Structures are given as C-alpha cells and as structure tokens.
Amino acid sequence: MEVEPIIDAIQHAKEMSDLSALLREWRDVSGLSHLVYHAVDVPISDRPNPVLLLTYDQTWVKRYFEQDYFSLDPVVLSGSKGFVP
C-alpha cells in the first residue's frame, strides 16, 4: 500500500471519525494487527497530545496509560523527532 495517499487522506480529514475510519481501513488493507496515529502538535489545539487514535483493545490502552509506557516506547520516542506521519 502506498503511503502518500494515506498522508493525503489524513490531511483532508474533516472529523476525528474520518481519521478513525481511515486508520482501521489502513490496518485492514495492510494486514497489520494494529495501528496508531498520534499527533503531538496541532496548531489549533492547546492540549498536549491532542490527537491519539488507536486500533488496540481498550484494556491494553488503559494499561499503557496507567504504566506510562509513553515514556519508554521506542516508537513514540523516535516519532516525537519526526515531522510527518
């Protein structure tokens, strides 16, 4: 699957539900088990981590937050240095 059309679709999404649907579709088409879209800096929002969309089970998401795995996750740490999805 080409990444450019996905990035374009992300940029043109109007609602969070559009992004959630896109994430699930990309997961299904790619054959991956799970995907995450995490935007840490959204100019129109003053909240930290304003966009976090996941395809993981809610039980795992709850544990991830409770254990503060954000501070250890190598994907999160690497992604925080990037500029594009």
pLDDT digits (tens, 9 = 90+) for 26-36: 899 889 999 88
The predicted pLDDT at position 83 comes to: 66
CA of 18: how far to CAs of 31, 32, 64, 73, 80, in Å? Answer: 20, 19, 24, 26, 23
Residues in contact with 16: Cβ distance below 8 Å, sequence separation at least 6, in sequence order: 51, 53
Q: What pLDDT digit, counting tens, does each position of 44-79 carry?
A: 777 766 678 899 999 999 999 899 998 898 988 887
pTM: 0.66
By the 8 A CB rule, do 34 and 27 touch?
yes
The predicted pLDDT at position 43 comes to: 73
Token pair 């966009």: residue: 51
Residue among 1, 64, 68, 75 at smallest CA distance from 38: 75
